[in-house]
Amino acid sequence: MPLEIRPVSSRRDLARFIRLPWRIYRNHPLWVPPLVYERKRFLDRGKNPFFTHGEAEYFLALRDGEPVGRITAQIDRDFNDFHKNDWGMFGFFETDEDPETANALLGAAEGWLRERGRDRMVGPMDFTMNDESGIVIEGHDLPPMIKQPYHPPYYQGLVEAAGMEKAMDLYMYNLEVENHDDVLPVIWELDEKLEPEHGIKVRHMRKKDLQAEVERFLEIYNIAWSKNWGFAPIRREEMEHTAKEMMPILDEDWMMVCETADGETVGMALSIADVNQVLRRMNGRVLPLGWLKFLWYRPRIDRVRVGFLGVKPEYQHTGVAAAMYAEHYRMAARKRQSGGEIGWILETNTAMNRGMEAMGGRIVKRYRVYERPFA
């Protein structure tokens, strides 16, 4: 049947856009269904703060009236202003194992971006690198953790056959408390010296003081990650929105701050229990029984994802990162979450990759972000 690519223009189209992955992954037991109501809010231009500085179009691919693929094309003005470039992005890429569909979807996104003066297309990312990013190229045999993409192995071949080229690989490392002896001794030594030699302490964030903690996180994030490929500064309203959305799954034991004796925040780490272990049992629904499943299974989550760990550049020689690594091991030794994954980490981030090796970590997943320069 002929293939049709069309913009999402109605509530019915949006529902089909959101529901398409259930069709794509019907034979992939490791895939974790997202919450439908959360996806609706995320894609709502009036509710997602991305749209205060960005714009996007959503496309569906249909055969005989049935959705077989989807994609978004988006422009992030904050990203372009920060990097002084004219990049466009694509995201939410899903498709049957069909080169025609993949080519047509990527072509539709490219056309939309070209019309708006972009000089290349980079992705996938939903909508920024702070959301799910990249195509899975290693780790297909592992379930995705919270805020991680999952794709069938054929996605890589389709995207590369369509002319997309590698821009950057992102690594996920596995760490287990039982591998304590694999950690290089220097990590524990730096941890022990941090307070007596530098006057810096590790504490845990306070949910009751969330507004102030958000301010501290913003300061560290927008300094510590500013040199990273793909970085864009986070606005306060975006961070506040994300914090409120994630409040039900935040655990103070896994939220860490490093401060000097005079109260300056010099480093932060934010780890999240892998709520995907619960979501896979809910099949995208909160009602009628999804919320009961959430309450029942949440205390049984046994993995954690270290999503953010950053230190101000002028304090990176003091052992702040090592102290937060060590605190993660202490937490894992006494909590149900005895291990997990850390990342993603850019393949070019030598310091963080060496840090993971010093912690005894090993790469278990690799995501690839692609680009296509426009001639």
Whether 174-366 and 7-170 are alike in CATH topology: the answer is yes
Instruction: Spell out the domain ranges in the chain.
Output: 7-170, 174-366
Q: pLDDT in tens for each of the 375 residues of the chain?
A: 899 999 999 999 999 999 999 999 999 999 999 999 999 999 999 999 999 999 999 999 999 999 999 999 999 999 999 999 999 999 999 999 999 999 999 999 999 999 999 999 999 999 999 999 999 999 999 999 999 999 999 999 999 999 999 999 999 999 988 888 888 999 999 999 999 999 999 999 988 888 898 899 999 999 988 889 999 999 999 988 888 888 888 899 999 999 999 999 999 999 999 999 999 998 988 877 777 888 888 889 999 998 889 999 999 999 999 999 999 999 988 888 888 999 999 999 998 999 899 988 999 999 999 999 997
pTM: 0.93
The dotted CATH code for 7-170 is 3.40.630.30
Give the CATH fold of the 174-366 domain. Answer: Aminopeptidase (3.40.630)
Phi, psi for 98 (deg, rounded to 5): -145, 110
